[in-house]
């Protein structure tokens, strides 16, 4: 039987099962490049819905470069960030009606039957971005996963939240509905396509993708057997309130308290001068920022100082606020502070003539439904209202995740300690609240949930001062190249977080450490520059005193 007939038969069954949900998808949204007709994998597009309606294009590719027209997915990918060097596979694009005023689209990659590893992987999104994450799907495909992503019901750029204006159903799709229904429908497609069960199901996402993973764990604990979550924006209502508040600290730009972006590197250099060696090594990596007794007064301008390399008293006060938790009325804790060492990414919130776009859009279009609202109008009451409304039920704040644990499912959670987009303390706060919710019930975390702080890593990927940051986490492979997957040269559970999670879930081998890698100039072909051991919280990597400080084997978790 031909591949066409196999696909046609299953799609007909799929339509019968989901006819009330599946709706039109514009044909031609997927295309192939350089297909060799001799491979036996010609492009196949099947239209089996009622006349005039297209269920989805099924397009099959040999080893090829995969392109998606940018009008469909402006954020995933962008520019030249296409998934490349892929094995033979089929691509599916399906649009699903989620309510009377909303719909979402899923994209699914299906490896050949011979290449399929028997497992399912869903990958997450970033920021407010709508769009299918084809790039991370490409990386997942190379492991052998059947891999899926959703646009969460809209198309928008990373920081643009205006699409949510008076669109509560779209916000619900973004909050939780689109991903869950994508998982349910995609699993049906996978099981039908391969005529067999899925052995294990996994999730991988960073930032908003991390939040999506934790929401899945809390709302739908049976969806996944293991989740890999990086820098999760799990407390959206508080994160966005903080992002506005921290921006106001440095405004207006013509005030004496304003720290211009040109001084951010000056501040960073002094932070590293005082804090780098606190862990015993002067290696450009701050292992534990909170262990540093930082004295910002060393930056204070004197009459003879170079004014381009020092801060005034008013600017020092602003710096103190940036490095302090957001605490408001009646000493109410709202959100943790940016860590020392995160200065390289401060521009997103602190460099313009207004706070960051994401927080402003969240307040205007999600919480207040008032497009005229300005940052000067912000007050603590806005933060209170945001938490009360929690648009789209985005907050992943149900810390009792015992239903997930009871299935023997696992969580690997990580966060860069030099993250200037999302304070690392938010992950520590989350972990500790899960601990407080479950330990009294006799549920220990060590056997199913590990949190790894990553010294020197920024938001999801990259680092300062060449700190090792790569371990095949979500959003990381494409930074090294769109054809990259796993950790080149080190494709094993110690160096690859996805493989580590799989080993924990499937073989019961707990992830007690990982190894992060830094390639020279973040270029795989240039070779490895440094590797460093990562340890589960609250442990940190300590130098043994023997061996190279660029060798992970020279460190032990303590």
Give 445-464 pLDDT, tens digit per residue.
999 999 999 999 999 999 99
Residue 427: how many CA atoms within 13 Å on its side-chain side? 33
Q: How many CB atoms lie under 10 A from the CB of residue 393?
A: 16
The whole-angstrom separation of Cα 222 and Cα 408 is 11
Rounded CA separation 317/311 (Å) = 10
Helix (H, G, I), strand (E, B) or coil at 551: coil
Q: Report DSSP letters for 373-435, one per residue.
A: --GGG--HHHHHHHHHH-GGG--------HHHHHTT-EEEEEEETT-SSS-THHHHHHHHHHH
Q: Are strands 226-230 and 146-150 parallel, antiparallel or unpaired?
A: unpaired
d(CA 147, CA 70): 20
Which pLDDT belongs to residue 84?
Answer: 73
Q: What is the pLDDT along the chain (558 residues), one digit of tens a residue?
A: 344 444 445 544 544 454 445 433 333 333 333 332 222 222 222 222 222 232 334 555 555 555 544 334 545 544 334 677 788 888 888 889 999 999 999 989 899 889 999 999 999 999 997 889 988 999 999 999 999 999 999 988 888 999 999 999 999 999 999 999 999 999 998 998 898 999 999 999 999 999 999 999 999 999 999 999 999 999 999 999 999 999 999 999 999 999 999 999 999 999 999 999 999 999 999 999 999 999 999 999 999 999 899 999 999 999 999 999 999 999 999 999 999 999 999 999 999 999 999 999 999 999 999 999 999 999 999 999 999 999 999 999 999 999 999 999 999 999 999 999 999 999 999 999 999 999 999 999 999 999 999 999 999 999 999 999 999 999 999 999 888 999 999 999 999 999 999 999 999 999 999 999 999 999 999 999 999 999 999 999 999 999 999 999 999 999
Query: How far apart are alpha carbons 199 and 224 in whole angstroms?
Result: 11
User: What pLDDT shows up at residue 70?
Assistant: 36
pTM for the full predicted model: 0.91
Contacts of 191 (CB under 8 A, 6+ apart): 197, 198
Is residue 225 within 8 A of residue 284, CB to CB? The reply is no
- Render pLDDT for 109-133 as a digit per residue (tens, 0 to 9): 899 889 999 999 999 999 997 889 9
Give counts: helices (H), strands (E), the chain: 15, 18
Residue 60's φ and ψ, nearest 5 degrees, are: -110, 140
pLDDT at 54: 29
Q: How much is the pLDDT for 131?
A: 87
DSSP 156: B
Neighbours of 469 (CB within 10 A): 28
Closest CA to 540 of 558, 552, 553, 555: 558
At residue 15, the pLDDT reads 45
Q: Where are the alpha helices (DSSP H) in 250-356?
A: 264-275, 313-322, 347-350
Q: Is 365 helix (H, G, I), strand (E, B) or coil?
A: helix
Q: Which of 107, 83, 81 is nearest to 96 (CA)?
A: 107
pLDDT of 89: 84
Q: Based on the number of CB atoms within 10 Å of its own CB, is 335 exposed (0-12), middle (13-18) or buried (19 or more)?
A: buried
pLDDT score, position 225: 99
Q: Encoding tokens for residue 420?
A: 């200037």
Q: Other C-beta atoms within 10 Å of 194: how many?
A: 17
Cis peptide before 210 (omega within 30 of 0): no
Q: Is 550 helix (H, G, I), strand (E, B) or coil?
A: coil
Distance (Å, rounded) from C-alpha 543 to C-alpha 558?
10
Pairing of strands 102-111, 146-150: antiparallel
CA geometry: angle at 164 spanning 184 and 169, to 5°?
40
- At 158 the pLDDT is 84
Distance separating alpha carbons of residues 99 and 88, to the nearest angstrom: 35
Predicted confidence at residue 415, as pLDDT, reads 99
The size of the chain, in residues, is 558
Q: What pLDDT sits at residue 292? A: 98
Q: Which has the closest alpha carbon to 553: 533, 536, 528? A: 533
Alpha carbons 404 and 347: distance in angstroms, whole number: 38
Distance CA 292, CA 278 (A): 6
- Torsion sign (Cα): 381, 387, 392, 395: positive
Q: How far is CA 546 from CA 287, 542, 550, 555, in A?
A: 18, 11, 11, 9
Contacts of 217 (CB under 8 A, 6+ apart): 224, 227, 396, 401, 404, 409, 411
pLDDT value at residue 157: 85
Query: 241 near 335, Cβ under 8 Å?
Result: yes
Q: Which residues contact 195 (CB under 8 A, 6 or more apart)?
A: none
What is the DSSP code string of 327-349? EEGGGEEEEPPPPTT-GGGTHHH
Q: What is the pLDDT at residue 61?
A: 58
Q: What positions carry a catalytic annotation?
A: 207, 419, 459
Query: Which residues is 228 bridged to in the sheet?
Result: 204, 412
For residue 442, the surrounding DSSP H or E stretch is: none
């Amino acid at each position: 039987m031909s591949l066409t007939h196999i696909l046609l038969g299953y799609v007909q069954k799929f339509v019968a099962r989901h006819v009330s949900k599946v709706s039109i998808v514009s044909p031609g949204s997927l295309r192939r490049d350089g297909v060799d007709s001799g491979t036996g994998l010609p492009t196949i597009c099947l239209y089996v819905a009622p006349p005039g309606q297209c269920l989805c294009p099924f397009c099959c590719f040999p080893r090829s470069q995969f392109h998606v027209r940018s009008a469909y997915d402006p954020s995933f990918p962008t520019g030249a960030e296409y998934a490349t060097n892929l094995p033979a596979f089929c691509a599916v694009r399906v649009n699903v009606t989620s309510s009377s005023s909303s719909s979402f689209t899923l994209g699914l990659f299906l490896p050949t039957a011979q290449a399929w590893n028997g497992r399912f992987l869903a990958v997450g999104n970033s920021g407010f971005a709508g769009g299918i994450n084809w790039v991370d799907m490409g990386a997942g495909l190379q492991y052998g996963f059947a891999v899926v992503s959703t646009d969460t019901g809209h198309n928008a750029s990373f920081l643009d939240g205006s699409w949510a204006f008076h669109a509560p159903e779209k916000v619900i799709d973004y909050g939780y509905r689109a991903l869950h229904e994508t998982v349910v429908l995609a699993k049906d497609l996978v099981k039908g396509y391969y005529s067999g069960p899925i052995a294990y199901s996994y999730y991988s996402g960073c930032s908003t993708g991390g939040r999506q993973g934790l929401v899945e764990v809390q709302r739908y604990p049976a969806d996944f057997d293991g989740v890999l979550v990086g820098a999760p924006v799990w407390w959206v209502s508080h994160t966005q309130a903080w992002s506005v508040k921290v921006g106001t600290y440095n405004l207006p730009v013509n005030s004496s308290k304003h720290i211009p972006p040109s001084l951010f590197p000056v501040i960073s250099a002094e932070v590293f001068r005082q804090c780098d060696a606190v862990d015993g090594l002067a290696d450009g990596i701050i292992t534990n920022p909170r262990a540093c007794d930082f004295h910002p007064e060393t930056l204070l301008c004197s009459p003879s100082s170079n004014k381009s390399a020092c801060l005034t008293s008013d600017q020092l006060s602003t710096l103190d606020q940036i490095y302090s938790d957001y605490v408001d009325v009646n000493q109410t804790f709202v959100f943790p502070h940016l860590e020392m060492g995160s200065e390289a990414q401060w521009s997103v919130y602190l460099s313009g003539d207004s706070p960051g776009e994401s927080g402003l859009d969240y307040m205007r279009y999600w919480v207040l439904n008032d497009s005229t609202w300005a940052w000067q109008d912000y007050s603590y009451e806005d933060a209170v209202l945001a938490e009360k409304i929690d648009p789209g039920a985005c907050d992943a704040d149900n810390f009792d995740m015992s239903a997930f644990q009871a299935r023997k499912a696992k969580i690997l959670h990580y966060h860069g300690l030099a993250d200037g987009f999302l304070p690392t303390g938010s992950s520590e706060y989350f972990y500790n609240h899960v601990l407080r919710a479950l330990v009294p019930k006799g549920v220990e975390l060590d056997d199913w949930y590990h949190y790894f702080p990553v010294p020197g890593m920024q938001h999801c990927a990259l680092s300062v001062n060449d700190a090792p940051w790569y371990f095949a986490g979500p959003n990381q492979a494409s930074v090294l190249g769109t054809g990259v997957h796993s950790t080149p040269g080190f494709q094993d559970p110690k160096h690859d977080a996805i493989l580590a999670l799989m080993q924990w879930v499937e073989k019961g081998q707990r992830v007690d450490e990982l190894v992060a890698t830094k390639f020279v100039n973040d270029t795989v072909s240039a070779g490895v520059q440094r590797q460093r051991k990562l340890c589960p919280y609250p442990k940190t990597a300590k130098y043994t005193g023997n061996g190279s400080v660029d060798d992970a084997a020279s460190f032990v978790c303590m």
